[in-house]
Structure 1
């Protein structure tokens, strides 16, 4: 939805054509999330279908222009005033990779973590260097407010903070694995010495499936919406 609303925000400044929207979107975000023209026109077509933009003639070069409607402005205001929903977080490849690695035989989870940490720290250093360059360029134009420069700095800040948080999370994951490793070995030995029986033990449900916590069964959205006691 960020592309959809991002294009609406650009159209709020006045009519634009497809390639112009692509250029301004990438300029505002420092090309962090590049778009192709086809993606822009597909999104604009959906916005037009939903009554959020309308054709606005052509410019002097013959480019087809689009303009935001009042419904589009209302939608844009809702987007700006509504917090991003964290009850349904986007899929994170790194979190999925580690979750799968923990239960996959012959995978050195610590090696996976250490390789990712090295990459994350390198990325954080790259982002920090880019931020220094952006601040230096802004300092060379005192008294000039460039929305694209400020937006790019904010995007860089977000990427730096996200990389820092990811590095801390990876440290936490490795520490937890080190702490739990002896218990995991003990559990495997106990399992080998005491194979599951056909009784009604507490380790399994009646259908043979391992018991799971309500939060994991219901998912994050259900856990967050569950009334607090």
Structure 2
């Protein structure tokens, strides 16, 4: 998800200023994607430049923004467009394991085990969070995080099995080989 589209979706609820947008974004995503306030205001400036939002008169030292007709059209287009796998961020764990395989002196099994432990702990924490009250948007985000953690654990199992299948056969020490007489 882009910050741009997230802010447009929030402004569709009604005018807000930067700190309100940051708090609403944090609430909607359950704090899984923290925004800094500078990022919010930089994005608002670009949205205003592109006529997707308009600044309203300042109120008590805060400048609220509202979505424009252009912004609504862009938001509608975004909601109607699927997220493609090529649009998703790189998977740091996959890249780390691929590099660990080819980096001398790295114990790939230890890297997999360390990641599995961390992912299992994360999954346990997410599962614990499901027992706490929350609104539907947060529950959906939490479910997505649980499914992603479960998928990562399955993938790590697959990586470990692939490593075992592709281990080179141990080389015998010539001194241990019996020669028939």
With normalisation by structure 1, the TM-score equals: 0.71
Q: How far off is 1:89 after superposition?
A: 3.5
Q: Where does 1:101-140 land on structure 2 (aligned, <5 Å)?
A: 101-133=100-132, 137=133
Indicate yes or no: 2:77 matched with 1:91.
no
Give the RMSD, CA atoms, in angstroms. 1.5
Structure 2 Cα separation of the partners of residues 115 and 65 of structure 1: 46
Q: How far off is 1:17 after superposition?
A: 0.5
Gaps of 5+ in 1: 139-148, 187-229
Map of 1:25 onto structure 2:
25
Which among 130, 135, 160 is matched to residue 174 of structure 1? 160
Superimposed CA distance per residue, residues 36-57 of structure 1 (whole angstroms, 9 cap, x where no aligned partner): 1111000000001111001121
Q: How far off is 1:88 after superposition?
A: 4.2
Runs of 4+ in 1 over 4 A off after TM superposition: none
Map of 1:164 onto structure 2:
150
Map of 1:16 onto structure 2:
16
Superimposed CA distance per residue, residues 55-98 of structure 1 (whole angstroms, 9 cap, x where no aligned partner): 12133x23111111111000000110100021344111111100
Indicate yes or no: 2:37 matched with 1:37.
yes
SS state at 1:47 partner: helix
